[in-house]
Amino acid sequence: MNCHYSIIIPHKNIPALLQRCLDSIPSREDIQIIVVDDNSSSTEVNFTKFPGNNRKEVEIIYTKEGRGAGYARNCGLSVAKGQWLLFADADDFFIPGFLEILDEYVDTDYDMITFRAESVDSDTLIPVSSRQNNSLEISENIDSERLKYRNDVPWAKMISHRLVQEHHLRFDETPAGNDAMFSGYIDYYAQRVIASSKVIYCATVRNGSLQYSAVLVNLLARVDVACRYNRFLRRIGRKDKYVYSYFRVKQCEFFFGRCGYYQALWIYLRKECAGNICKTFYDLAVGKIRRLFG
């Protein structure tokens, strides 16, 4: 039977949550589930009972490099066989009935289908605001160009494997923000894009996750990625959409004081486009004048 879907899941040190994610994916012959372990600790994971090793459709790749989720996802891409690619974080899960929704599009020639995602607290499962940037705007009637460059995550999407192979797309192997440029390039190369208002995915909120990590190297990586993403958008002529990356510089100051701020500012001044740097200093000057003169 043809493999319709390859679902790639990077994992590190959260086996119980990975098991929850895998349990949300029904067993089917046309699904390939690829779990890539990013050098988990034997004190956190029982490798003899690793989640998914009792399911024939689950392929587990153990990496020892410890190079992060982007590297893990690239390892998954190297063995993916499916017509469609889906990505999930190990602490998230799919909504019941999601496969039936995907099946509505399996034989289409779209490059990407975007779906809605909801969010809950990972521990309590109490609903919280969706982590999907434009969740409430996603509907069947949305213009595909409006949809592009506004949703820089890989989950809650069906992505054509052919498109990824044709353009040799891979994730950044950075400590954080590894998926932004991948999503941007998918949006750039995808010619046929459609949105569905149906919910297929739950992106959880968890204090210990990389998304909410205030480690300096992660915040600096996010500054770098935001600057590169802005330059990419300007290069392709999308000046109407940009990530105002200076707020990530301020994040470093909030968590790590002036030392973190100066490190982030150095990255910002080297990597950000001149227009956004000018906008930053203009806004800072206007803000200072307003504070002085009330």
Q: Are residues 14 and 99 in the same domain?
A: yes
Per residue in 215-245, pLDDT (tens digit) is 889 889 999 999 999 999 988 988 777 777 8
222 and 198 share one domain: no
Per-residue pLDDT band at 135 (split at 50, 70, 90):
low
Q: How confident is the model at residue 156 (pLDDT cuts 50, 70, 90)?
A: very high
pLDDT in tens, 57-114: 999 999 998 889 999 999 999 999 999 999 999 999 999 999 999 999 999 999 999 9
Asked whether residue 212 carries a pLDDT value surpassing 60, the answer given is no
24 with 95, same domain? yes
Q: How far apart are CA 32 and CA 18, in angstroms?
A: 16
Task: Output 208 or 57, whichever has higher pLDDT.
Answer: 57
pLDDT over 70 percentage in the chain = 93
* pLDDT one-digit tens code per residue, 160-204: 999 999 999 999 999 888 999 999 999 999 999 988 889 999 999
Domain extent for 221: 214-293
Both 132 and 268 in a single domain? no
3-state DSSP assignment of residue 200: strand
Residues 130-139: contacts with CB under 8 Å, at least 24 apart: 130/203, 131/203, 131/205, 131/211, 132/156, 132/203, 138/114, 138/195, 138/196, 138/197, 139/195, 139/197
Which of 159, 183, 209 marks a domain boundary?
Answer: 209
Distance CA 66, CA 88 (A): 19
Q: Are residues 185 and 262 in the same domain?
A: no
- Can you give the pTM of this predicted structure? 0.90
Distance of CA 32 to the CA centre of its chain: 20
Q: Give Cα 61 distance to the centre of its chain.
A: 20
